[in-house]
């Protein structure tokens, strides 16, 4: 099997902690150096928290795995200084096309409006993503301990103790907080005897990544009942380095070993692409859909993120993207708690908010799975009727479900929000992730999101002489930006439009760029009350 990607090797290095008489204590330890664990470590490191990653392997993830990096995920990585090489290397796309047999039912555009720094999706193999995250984490002084396998965990009221195995023998560490980012087969989850709850579906799908040079556009192509895979579904995606992802539904009774044999994969690929299209196999896997999660993501001082906390079907790209958003949600809360600026109870909101987001992802993934693999004759008849209507009837197209693609959760009901007192238009309600827009600031072109994050931020529309540039309370601060001629210039009018920014309107944003609250006029007392609520002090 051809390997176009050259996997880097990261050598084991003995840590001074291994020579200590007693277990060395750290503020935060992260178990797992995959895409989600690395994002968590980078987030904390940029906040000044020396979180250590303990990774049992010696290289990045095998195979392309998570390939569709969504807009919100890329915005998080952009804030961390890691997104530029990813976007440069990956394949940018907005358009998807859905086919029934050989007919295109319809196409869709995931980002039809202008004025966003980051595209809707970038297709980039997980091994490249992890390599870029490692580069960035190394650049800012982060620490990854390779070939350090965590084999035991002992939670206590005030700390967590772990046992770590290495090529030179075991050692122990303690920490204030432990973050389990060790994937779907999480050892930490097993150690704490925490079961997943949800559904595992019977139907199986064959993934193969192939290297080929083709002039197909950079779009997501999905087929229902194609001639090359009759009665089943298929998917085609382009990735970096002329690598293409192909998914074939193979049925519940498929034999995994037989399906993965080259002599069986190659005819499937040729049937899709044509006998004359040259290609090389790069990676092959068989998977089943799983839509399940832990009952709780927080267990005392242990937090589960990414696939260690929840699993969804690959159609929709909700797994890795959801995990990165887990890290983004948890990072700023840990930072404030460790600084003593917020109570430990703030960390309970990680459970609240990310379980809500996970359930939203699971619901969408379950619906996709049910549409792709109907379980009863009645549901199959409904699915087939929808497909037959969708080519001609616009109203039927939203009912076609080939995988609702990843969108960030709007945390409508979070206890950290301050609810609206007045009427607003648009999507930027409390709990929503901030929408981007082009700006000018200090004579230079830029983007709104580049000025949000890195602490609490306020945004006011129109010159307000009585509004300070900064508010301070209880060891916390809010930096206030003005949208107007003397501050952030709304060069296209899109900030005003997207935020319903009537003169005097004020927005408060969290460090993860979600909206805390909004008011039609600035009121210092209300804003500071919302700040206290956002850090768990109300």
Of the ranges 255-259, 343-347, 472-476, which is most confident? Answer: 343-347
| pLDDT bracket for residue 393 (50, 70, 90) | confident
Q: Looking at residue 265, what is its pLDDT?
A: 95
- For residue 59, the tally of other CB atoms under 10 A from its CB is 16
* Mean pLDDT value of segment 339-355: 97
Length of the chain counted residue by residue = 538
Q: What is the DSSP string of 14-77?
A: --GGGG-SSPEEEEEEEE--SHHHHHHHHHHHHTT---EEEESSSSS-SS----EEEHHHHHHH
DSSP string of 277-325, one letter each residue:
---EEEEEEEEEEEEEE-S-SEETTEEE-GGGTEE--TTTT-HHHHHHH
Residue-wise pLDDT for 414-427, tens only, equals 999 999 999 999 99
Residue of 139, 84, 89 whose CA lies nearest to 117: 84
Structure tokens, 184:
């779907």
% helix / strand / coil in the chain, to the nearest 5?
30, 30, 40
Residues forming beta bridges with residue 288, ordered by sequence position:
204
Residue 439 has pLDDT above 90, yes or no: yes
Question: Is 125 part of any domain?
Answer: no
Q: What is the pLDDT of residue 1?
A: 42
Q: What pLDDT score was predicted for residue 315?
A: 67
**20 assigned to some structural domain:** no
Over 70: is that where the pLDDT of 2 sits?
no
State the chain's maximal CA–CA distance in angstroms: 74
- Average the pLDDT over 431-437 and give the result: 97
Torsions phi, psi of 44, nearest 5? Answer: -70, -40
Query: Can you give the pTM of this predicted structure?
Result: 0.94
**Domain boundary at 268, 287, 306, which?**
287
pLDDT digits (tens, 9 = 90+) for 454-495: 899 999 998 667 788 899 988 999 999 999 888 899 999 999
Nearest to 403 by CA among 247, 250, 229: 247
Name the residue with higher pLDDT: 433 or 290. 433
Q: In this predicted structure, what is the pLDDT of residue 10? A: 96
And the tokens for 498? 């997207």
* Residue 351 within any structural domain of the chain: no
Domain boundary at 231, 264, 287, which? 287
pLDDT of residue 390: 83
pLDDT for residue 33: 97
Give the span between the Cα atoms of 27 and 159, in whole angstroms: 9
What is residue 403's predicted lDDT score, i.e. its pLDDT? 65
pLDDT for residue 404: 65
pLDDT digits (tens, 9 = 90+) for 46-91: 999 999 999 999 999 987 788 889 999 999 999 999 999 999 999 9
Among the residue ranges 138-142, 320-324, 396-400, the one predicted with the least confidence is 396-400
pLDDT of residue 391: 80
Beta strands 476-483 and 456-461: pairing type? parallel
Between 321 and 319, residue with greater pLDDT: 321
Q: Total structural domains in the chain?
A: 2
* pLDDT band at residue 96 using 50, 70 and 90 as cut-offs: confident
Mean of per-residue pLDDT scores for the chain:
92
Residue-wise pLDDT tens digits, 138-154: 999 999 999 999 999 99
pLDDT value at position 264?
95
User: What CATH number has the domain bearing residue 451?
Assistant: 3.40.30.120
Rounded to an integer, the average pLDDT of 492-513 is 96
Q: Spell out the residues 6+ positions from residue 19 whose beta carbon is closer than 8 angstroms to its own.
A: none
Residue 214 included in any domain: yes
Percent of the chain with pLDDT strictly greater than 70? 97
On whether residue 292 sits in a domain, the answer given is no
Q: Which two tokens stand for residue 43?
A: 């987030």
Helix (H, G, I), strand (E, B) or coil at 429: coil
The residue range of the domain holding 228 is 198-287
Look at residue 521 and tell me if it is in a domain.
Answer: yes
Q: Is 3 helix (H, G, I), strand (E, B) or coil?
A: coil
Kindly tell me the sign of the dihedral angle through the C-alpha atoms of 81, 87, 88, 90: positive
| Residue 105 contacts residue 397 (beta carbons within 8 Å) | yes
| Cβ within 8 Å of residue 529, ≥6 positions away | 418, 538
Residue where a domain stops, chosen among 287, 302, 337: 287
Structure tokens at 154: 């002992």
Phi and psi at residue 5, to the nearest 5°: -90, 130
Does residue 445 sit in helix, strand or coil?
A: strand
The number of C-alpha atoms within 13 Å of 502 and in the hemisphere containing its C-beta is: 10
Q: Are 286 and 254 in contact (CB under 8 A)?
A: yes
Q: What is d(CA 444, CA 429) in angstroms, rounded to the nearest whole number?
A: 29
Q: What is the CATH number of the domain that holds 239?
A: 3.30.9.10
Question: Would you list the DSSP string of 364-422?
Answer: HHHHHHHHHS--SHHHHHHHHHHHHHHTT-GGGGGG--S-PPP-PPP-TT-TT----SS
Q: Examine the pLDDT at 277 and tell me if it is beyond 60.
A: yes
In-domain check, residue 308: no
Secondary structure of 253-267 in the HEC alphabet? CCCHHHHHCHHHHHH
Q: Is 202 a domain residue?
A: yes
């Amino acid at each position: 099997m051809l390997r176009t990607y050259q996997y880097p090797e990261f050598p084991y290095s003995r840590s001074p902690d291994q020579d200590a008489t007693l277990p060395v204590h750290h503020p935060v330890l992260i178990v797992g150096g995959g895409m989600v664990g690395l994002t968590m470590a980078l987030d904390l490191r940029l906040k000044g928290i020396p979180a250590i990653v303990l990774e049992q392997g010696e290289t990045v993830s095998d195979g392309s795995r998570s390939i569709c990096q969504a807009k919100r995920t890329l915005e998080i990585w952009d804030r961390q200084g890691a997104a530029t090489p990813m976007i440069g290397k990956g394949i940018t796309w907005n358009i998807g096309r859905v086919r029934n047999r050989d007919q295109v039912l319809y196409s869709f555009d995931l980002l039809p409006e202008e004025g966003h720094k980051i595209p809707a999706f970038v297709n980039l193999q997980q091994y490249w993503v992890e390599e870029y995250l490692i580069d960035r984490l190394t650049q800012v002084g982060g620490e990854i301990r390779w070939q350090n396998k965590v084999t035991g965990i002992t939670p206590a009221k005030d700390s967590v103790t772990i046992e770590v195995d290495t090529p030179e023998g075991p050692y122990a560490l303690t920490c204030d907080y432990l973050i389990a980012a060790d994937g779907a087969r999480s050892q930490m989850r097993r150690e704490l005897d925490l079961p997943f709850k949800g559904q595992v579906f019977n139907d199986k799908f064959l993934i193969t990544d192939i290297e080929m040079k083709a002039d197909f556009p950079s779009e997501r192509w999905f087929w229902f009942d194609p001639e090359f895979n009759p009665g089943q579904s298929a998917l085609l995606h382009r990735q970096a380095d002329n690598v293409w992802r192909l998914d074939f539904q193979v049925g519940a009774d498929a034999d995994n070993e037989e399906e993965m044999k080259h002599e069986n994969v190659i005819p499937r690929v040729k049937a899709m692409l044509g006998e004359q299209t040259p290609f090389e196999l790069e990676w092959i896997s068989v998977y089943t859909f799983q839509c399940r999660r832990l009952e709780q993501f927080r267990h005392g001082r242990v937090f589960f993120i990414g696939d260690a906390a929840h699993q969804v079907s690959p159609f929709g790209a909700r797994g890795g993207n959801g995990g990165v958003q887990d890290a983004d949600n948890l990072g700023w809360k840990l930072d404030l708690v460790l600084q003593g600026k917020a109570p430990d109870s703030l960390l309970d909101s990680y459970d609240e908010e990310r379980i809500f987001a996970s359930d939203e992802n699971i619901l969408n993934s379950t619906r996709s799975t049910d549409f792709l693999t109907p379980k009863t004759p009645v549901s199959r008849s409904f699915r087939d009727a929808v497909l037959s209507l969708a080519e001609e009837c616009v109203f039927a197209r939203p009912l076609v479900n080939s995988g609702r693609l990843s969108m960030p959760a709007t945390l409508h009901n979070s206890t950290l929000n301050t609810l609206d007192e007045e009427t607003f238009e648009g999507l930027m309600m409390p709990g929503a992730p901030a929408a981007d827009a082009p700006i000018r600031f200090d004579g230079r072109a830029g983007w709104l999101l580049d000025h949000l994050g890195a602490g609490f931020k306020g945004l006011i529309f129109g010159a307000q002489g009585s509004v300070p540039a900064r508010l301070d309370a209880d060891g916390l601060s809010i930096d206030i930006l003005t949208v107007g001629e003397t501050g952030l210039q709304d060069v296209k009018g899109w900030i005003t439009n997207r935020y319903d920014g009537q003169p005097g309107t004020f927005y408060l944003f969290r460090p993860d760029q979600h909206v805390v609250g909004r008011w039609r006029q600035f009121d210092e007392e209300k804003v500071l009350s919302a700040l206290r609520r956002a850090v768990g002090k109300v």
